[in-house]
Amino acid sequence: MNAATFVFIFTFLFFSKLIAALPNGEYIDPGTTSIETESGTLYTTASGFKYLELRAGFDTSHPALDINNLMRLHAENKPLPRLPGVPYDTDISPQMISKGELHCETSGGSPLSKDVDMVANALLAIGKKGVYCCHKQQGKNCSPVWWQGTAISDVCNFKKKQICIHCTIAGQAVKEIASKCNSNESKAGGFVRFGSLFGTVGDVNAYHQ
């Protein structure tokens, strides 16, 4: 056995054991920390990006997951319900917001950029109160988080995990789509992908409803 073959076999066995030892055999980036809450597991990656994975069986009818309820209470200047046990950050740093990768997909069928921007502003407004925007639909890839005029935005996870991203981060992602994917026809569409070294945490998109 030559040295290159030995290194390959060692590396393969090392990562196989590492992945097998993780929940569901999934890789989590080095440096990622997690805390268990009543609502699920809150992860913080080494780069500082936070996301929540709802626990199996969590009641998706909880008021904190009802976006219409959140928007109504915000408009009435009332306190917003919170997910049990989840720390609520009301001040999200620009460094955390910039963890996503923008993909523009603007076409003639995309929503008006002004409507995309209004969706972004609505999400940013409730984000200031510390709430999360969630993909809560079981067995599906995406859940809508807000809509305005021709535009709608989802939070997605293509392993069908019920994940939540702080609404400030989701809103800023939609804002980036509105500004940087804007076409000559004043339309905008695309998604921002929040990922890790070995996989995708989730997407925040904007498209025509």
3-state SS, residue 68: helix
pTM, 2 dp: 0.82
Low-confidence ranges of the chain (pLDDT < 50): 12-25, 27, 197-198
> In this predicted structure, what is the pLDDT of residue 139?
87
CA distance 121 to 76: 17
Amino acid type, 184? N
* Cβ–Cβ < 8 Å for 178, 196: no
> In this predicted structure, what is the pLDDT of residue 158?
86
> In this predicted structure, what is the pLDDT of residue 5?
62
Joined together, the tokens standing for residue 3 give 């040295």
Kindly tell me the sign of the dihedral angle through the C-alpha atoms of 61, 82, 53, 140: positive
> In this predicted structure, what is the pLDDT of residue 97?
61
Q: What is the DSSP string of 20-65?
A: HTSGGG----TT-EEEE-SSEEEEE-TTS-EEEEEPTT--TT-GGG
* Cβ–Cβ < 8 Å for 55, 83: no
> In this predicted structure, what is the pLDDT of residue 29?
60
> In this predicted structure, what is the pLDDT of residue 95?
57
